[in-house]
Structure 1
C-alpha cells in the first residue's frame, strides 16, 4: 500500500499496554454494525491506530472484520518506530504496519479507524481537535453509504469493560457500553472506562452522570431477573432504559452485554456538541 508523503507523525507515544483479545468486544461490535459498509466499499481499509507495544490487536482486527467483509485490509499505525519494526514480521496478506499518528499515513480514505486506549493520556480539551482530524480522514458519505467510521474508546486490561464513541465524517453518533456481565456489580462500574471526552463529566448536572444513575436504578429494579442469569437482568434493565434514553440497538446486541445510546443524549454540556 502506498503511503502519504513522509512527515513528522502527529501525536505522542502512548504506554503501549496491550493484551491478546483485549479489544474483542469492540471488534465484534464493529463487524456487526459496520460490516455492511465495509462490504460496499470498493477498497475497505481499516486502520488500527496506536496498536501499542505488540501487534495483537491489529492481527485480531483483520480476522474479525474478514468474517463480515472478506476483502478488508488492515493497517496498523504506531507513532513509536521501534514498535513498527517489531510488528513487521507479522505482516501478511491484508495486514501491514506503518509509522505515523493522527495524520493516518495511508493512501485514500479509510472505511474504519479504530483508536482504542489512545486518547486516555491526552487532555479533555484536545479530544475535539483529534476527533475532527480523524473524522476528516474517513471515507465520505455518499449514495447508500454513511461513510467511514471512527471508533474511539477505552477498556480495561483484559477487555471485560469497555466504552466507546462511534463517529462518522459528520462527527459523533453514538456511545456504546459493553461488559462481561458476570463481572458486573452494577452498570456504573463502567464509569471507570469512559473515554476521555466523558470521563471527567461523570458529575451531577452532566448527562452521562444522569444516564449511569438511571442505569443503576433500572439494574436494581431488575434484581428479580438475576435468578435467570445476569444476561436476562441486563436485557430487562436496558429495556427499561429505553423509556427515557435514546437507545439505538436491540435485544441481539443487549444479549452480548452491550447498550448503545445516541451521542446527543450523553454529550458534555457546552462542548463536543
Structure 2
C-alpha cells in the first residue's frame, strides 16, 4: 500500500535519537552496518536525516537504504542519494531482498488493518541480519507525539512513548499515536489503557511540579508510575527526553 507520504524535516528526530541510544551498540557490532528506512514518504528528508544522525553518533560507515513501493517516489529521491552511504530503492516489507542490521518503519502500518500487522512484522523481521532490530511506530506530523515498538526475530520486545514535553497537556494525548497493534486497544480492560491511565493519574498528581517546568513534572510522573509497579525501563537520562519504555508483555493486547 502506498502511504500518504506526509513528512516534515525533523519529524522523526525523537525516534532517531532513541535509536542512537538504544540500538547503537547493535549497529556498531553489525558485520554490515546497513539500515533500511522503510516508507520514507513523498520526500527523502527523513532518510537523509537518519543517515546523518547515525553517521555522526554511531558509526561513520553506516549505510542507509530508503525503500518505497511507489517508483515515482524512488525516482524523485535520487537527487538526494549519496552512495554508498545513502541510496533509494523500490521495496516493501520484504526489504527489497536486503539483510539490514536495523529497520525503521514509521507511519507505515498505521494505514493498514490491525489484522495485517503481525504478518508485516514477521516479514520484516525475517529479513533482518542476525541480531537485527526493527523499530516500528507512528508520530504526529511535527514529531511532537510518538510511539514505537522495538522488535527482533523473536517478536516485539518493548513499547516506547515519547512526547515534546513543552507542548504536552497530558500523557493521554499519546493515545492517538499508538502503533497500529495497540491503537484500537485503548479501552478499559486492556493493558495499554491501564498504562495511559496510570500516566494521566501520575501527571495530575505531579501538578505541584509544574512551576519547575514540564520536564520535572514528567520525571515525577514516570517515577510515580514505576513506584506503582509498572516495570519502566531505562532511567532519568532517557525519561528527561519525554520518553517512557516498558516491556511489550505489559501492554500486549488481551
Q: TM-score, with normalisation over the residues of structure 1?
A: 0.90
Deviation at 1:48, TM superposition (A): 0.3
Superposed CA offset, 1:198-245 (max 9, x none): 000000110000110111001111111111110011011101111221
Structure 1 segments of 4+ aligned residues over 4 angstroms from their partners:
none
Whether 1:259 and 2:244 are equivalent positions in the alignment is yes
**Map of 1:232 onto structure 2:** 216
Deviation at 1:149, TM superposition (A): 1.0
SS of equivalent residue, structure 1 residue 16: coil
What runs of 5+ residues in structure 1 fail to find an aligned partner?
1-11, 141-146
SS of equivalent residue, structure 1 residue 105: helix
Whether 1:153 and 2:137 are equivalent positions in the alignment is yes
Whether 1:118 and 2:102 are equivalent positions in the alignment is no
SS of equivalent residue, structure 2 residue 95: coil
Deviation at 1:192, TM superposition (A): 0.4
Contact 1:84–1:98 (8 Å) recurs in 2: yes
**Map of 2:38 onto structure 1:** 49
**Map of 1:98 onto structure 2:** 89
Alignment match of 1:26 (pick from 11, 15, 38): 15
SS of equivalent residue, structure 2 residue 51: helix
Q: Which moved more, 1:35-44 or 1:150-159?
A: 35-44
Contact 1:139–1:169 (8 Å) recurs in 2: no
Contact 2:222–2:239 (8 Å) recurs in 1: yes
**Map of 1:175 onto structure 2:** 159
Give, in whole Å, the separation in 2 of the partners of 1:214 and 1:37. 32
How do 1:242-253 residues align onto structure 2 when only pairs under 5 Å count? Answer: 242-243=226-227, 244-253=229-238
Give, in whole Å, the separation in 1 of the partners of 2:224 and 2:58. 31
Q: How many residues in Structure 1 have an aligned counterpart in Structure 2? A: 251
**Map of 2:24 onto structure 1:** 35
What runs of 5+ residues in structure 2 fail to find an aligned partner?
none
Alignment match of 1:87 (pick from 55, 77, 83): 77
Contact 1:219–1:237 (8 Å) recurs in 2: yes
Contact 2:97–2:127 (8 Å) recurs in 1: no
Q: TM-score, with normalisation over the residues of structure 2?
A: 0.97
SS of equivalent residue, structure 2 residue 223: helix
Deviation at 1:36, TM superposition (A): 1.0
Give, in whole Å, the separation in 1 of the partners of 2:248 and 2:89. 31
Contact 1:36–1:69 (8 Å) recurs in 2: no
